[in-house]
Each structure stands twice: as C-alpha cells, then as structure tokens.
Amino acid sequence: MADNKLYDLVILGGGPAGATAALYGTRAGLSVLILEKMMVGGEIISTDRLDNFPAFPEGISGAEFGMLLQQQLDNLQVPVQTTEIEKVDFSGETKTIFTTSGEYRGKTVLIATGTEPNLLGAEGEEELVGRGVSYCATCDAAFFKDKEVAVVGGGNAALEETIFLDRFTSKIYLIHRRDKFRGVKGLQDKVLSLPGVEVLYNTTVKAIEGDNKVKGLQLNQDGQGRFLEVGGVFIYAGRTANAPFLAGVDLETTKNGFIITDEKMKTAIPGVYAAGDIRDKYLRQVITATSDGAIAATAAAQALFA
C-alpha cells in the first residue's frame, strides 16, 4: 500500500547494498524506506554459502545471512515494503517511485536493485528454461540428483556452483570457452580436485537440444562439433544491470546498463545514488555492495543535513 510520507531516503532493493544503506541512513537520523520485491538479503540468499566475508571463517549460508540482515533492520525498525518497482520519476526535487503497490516519495533515492543473469544466447536456451536450463544451481540442484549435467562459464559463480552441484550429480562437464578459468585460484583448485568434474576447455555451446526437457548440447570443442548428452545445463555467462524501471531516465550508464557514480555513489542526477552490483565497478561481491551502501547513505545524510 502506498503512503503519503515524504521519506529522506527511499532505497530500491533490499540486498546487501540496500539493507546496509538503510542501517547507515537510519542511524544517521534519516527516515528510510526499503522497497523490495522478494526478501531482504538479495541474490546471496539463494546461494549455498557466502564466502569471502570477514569474520565468518567457515562462510555462512546465504539464507542465514539474509535472516540476520532482516533482524538487524528489525532492531532499528526500518520499514521494508514488499513491492515491485515499475517506474520512477526523478525529474523534480522530490523523487517518485511507482510500484505495484502504489507510489512512494523520497527527498533522495538509492538504486540498489543488483543484476540479472545473462542468457548464453544458444539455440533452444529460452525454450528450455525451467526444463533443464537453469541459472541457479543452489535453487535447482536437487532436481538433478545422480544425473549428468553441464555447467557453462569460467568465473567465480560457475566454479562455486560446480562445487555445490557436485554433491548431487553423478557427473559435471564444466564447459569453458577459454583455456583457463577467470575465477579465483582457491575455487579453481577445488573444482579441479573433484573426481566428478570433467573440464572441457576451448568449448562453446551452439545449441541446447530437447523437446520437453534438456537431452544434450551441441558443442564446438577445439573447432570440432560434438554432441554431449546431459540432463541439465547451468549457465553463468555474466550479468546485466537489473533496472528496467529506469527506461528513459537520463542516468549515465555503461552499455550493459551499469550505473556510473562518483566516489560518494552519486549518479548524474542530484539526489539519486546507486550502490552495489548495479554500479559500474571492479568487484561485485557482498563486501563491496555493503561498502557502497554505507557510503551512499552517509553521503545522502550529509547532503540532506548540509
């Protein structure tokens, strides 16, 4: 349900960036509202384990991290509205956000809606989404118990998800278009030590075949065509900024829609900030998302109280 209140800071997205901005904004004395279409925690809640976060020596499950974040927001009584952002109007001094549950207004706005997975672009991919084509092993691994599957990609996400899938599947073909991985060394070493994983370097997927469900992949391996029989394929082909609601808004972005900000997370529009994975940045991780959120809320508070 929409409300008539004019918030100091309206935060679009309740992932690590948005939730951290809410903590910092509230503690700085701002009235803050989070608009989130699913659950607080963002994309990390659907992953098995959050690694590389200080003070969690064994990592922590994504779901537990999300719950702790929600608890921290509850402790500060930060309102979270479950709703989907559809459109924004940033033209005036007051910013208006149009959502499936009505309009919300802010003196400042933080865009923190993260990213979405890129399609591989292979023939048959879109038709077979949910029928063996997946972009999230943690969500779908259980459907592939004791089956042979493929993972496509060479970055951290592909490597992490391969390690997770290996607990379920009988065999994983890890398909990578180059001759070495981009992911961190520790993950590479772990993946290469798994007996259930066979790496196919210099290989691309031309087509995903199957009628009602995936039956196999047409590959190009070292310049040679090959059919690989698998029951599923998990795709990690990079990510794109997730903000269709910004269509027509005059923000400075890269060609993939990543928002360009300055060091204080300010965008090209006064009063509009961006934080987390949706920014044009070097490293997309929880720690950099939380750091962006902290900076953005601090900068917004400083601007409002100046």
Question: Binding residue for ligand FAD (CB under 6 A) from 104, 214, 285, 295?
Answer: 285
Q: How far is the CB of 28 from ligand FAD (least distance, A)?
A: 19
33 binds ligand FAD (CB under 6 A): no
Strand order in the sheet with 224-229: 203-209, 216-221, 224-229
299 binds ligand FAD (CB under 6 A): no
Q: How far out from the chain centre does Cα 71 lie?
A: 21
Stretch that binds ligand FAD, among 70-78, 113-121, 254-262, 263-271 (CB under 6 A): 113-121
37 binds ligand FAD (CB under 6 A): yes
Stretch that binds ligand FAD, among 35-43, 193-201, 220-228, 296-304 (CB under 6 A): 35-43
Question: Binding residue for ligand FAD (CB under 6 A) from 26, 81, 113, 203?
Answer: 113
Question: CA 297, CA 278: separation in Å to the nearest integer?
Answer: 16
114 binds ligand FAD (CB under 6 A): yes
Q: How far is the CB of 147 from ligand FAD (least distance, A)?
A: 20
Contacts by 253-257 with C-beta closer than 8 Å and gap 24+? 253/280, 254/280
Which listed residue (74, 139, 189, 250) is catalytic? 139
Q: Does the active-site annotation cover 136?
A: yes
Q: Does the active-site annotation cover 74?
A: no
User: Which one, 17 or 217, has the nearer CB to ligand FAD?
Assistant: 17
SS (H, E, C) 224-288: EEEEEECCEEEECCCEEECCHHHCCCCCCECCCCCECCCCCCECCCCCEEECHHHECCCCCCHHH
What does residue 62 show for φ and ψ, rounded to 5 degrees?
Answer: -60, -40
Q: Does the active-site annotation cover 250?
A: no
H or E, element range at 212? none
Q: Catalytic residue positions?
A: 136, 139-140
